[in-house]
Amino acid sequence: MTQSTSATHTRAPHQWLALTIGVVYLLVGIAGFFVTGFDGFAEHDHDQTLLGFAVNPLHNIVHLLIGLLGVIMWSSPGRARTFGWLLVIGYGAAFVYGLIAVNNPDINFLNINAADNWLHILSVVAGLAIALWPRRNSGTTSTGPRAA
């Protein structure tokens, strides 16, 4: 009798978190276009909000790309961790940019507001959770395989 292959395809919690974040960002990107349409691609207009978060078509595309990455990269533990690091780096940079751009319409081409900055910090924390999630015990010890 052969061992079930389902055990070899069990997903780790950090993979499910990567998928969840990916799906959420994908849905937010799609929903954003219902608010903004496709006009004013990189306009700074805090009147266009989705659940309190300022959006514009460029911002929606960024959400779609991040969501797509999460949906693609969740499939293996290593790729999910890489997605986590991408969230940390990308949203860390977006947070710093947002602190500067939120009150400067001349450089705020992603239409970031204070709510977005909080979401960026939350995304950094989620990225750290994905990237640093403890690895599973592989079933071996430093002296060899575990006894059954």
Residue 71 forms part of a structural domain: yes
Q: How many domains does the chain have?
A: 1
Give the per-residue pLDDT at 10: 87
Place of tokens 């998928």: 19
Q: Are 52 and 102 in contact (CB under 8 A)?
A: no
Detail the DSSP E strand segments found in the chain: 49-50, 53-54, 140-141, 144-145
pTM of the predicted model over 0.85: no
Domain holding 99, by residue range, is 12-38+47-134
Place of tokens 């950090």: 14
Q: Could you tell me how far CA 36 lies from the centroid of its own chain?
A: 21
Contacts of 2 by beta carbon, 8 Å cutoff, 6+ apart: none
Amino acid letter for position 131: A
Residue 72 forms part of a structural domain: yes
Q: Contacts for 36-41 with beta carbons within 8 Å, 24 or more apart?
A: 36/60
Residue 27 forms part of a structural domain: yes
d(CA 79, CA 3): 26
Give the per-residue pLDDT at 39: 84
Q: Residues 101-140: pLDDT tens digits?
A: 988 989 998 989 999 999 999 999 999 999 999 887 655 4
- Which residues of the chain register pLDDT less than 50? 3-7, 140-142, 144, 148
Residue 57 forms part of a structural domain: yes
Give the per-residue pLDDT at 97: 95
Residue 144 forms part of a structural domain: no
Give the per-residue pLDDT at 7: 47
Residue 84 forms part of a structural domain: yes
Give the per-residue pLDDT at 4: 46
Residue 116 forms part of a structural domain: yes
Q: Using alpha carbons, select from 54, 36, 58, 38 the residue that is nearest to residue 112.
A: 54
DSSP designation for 107: T
Residue 92 forms part of a structural domain: yes
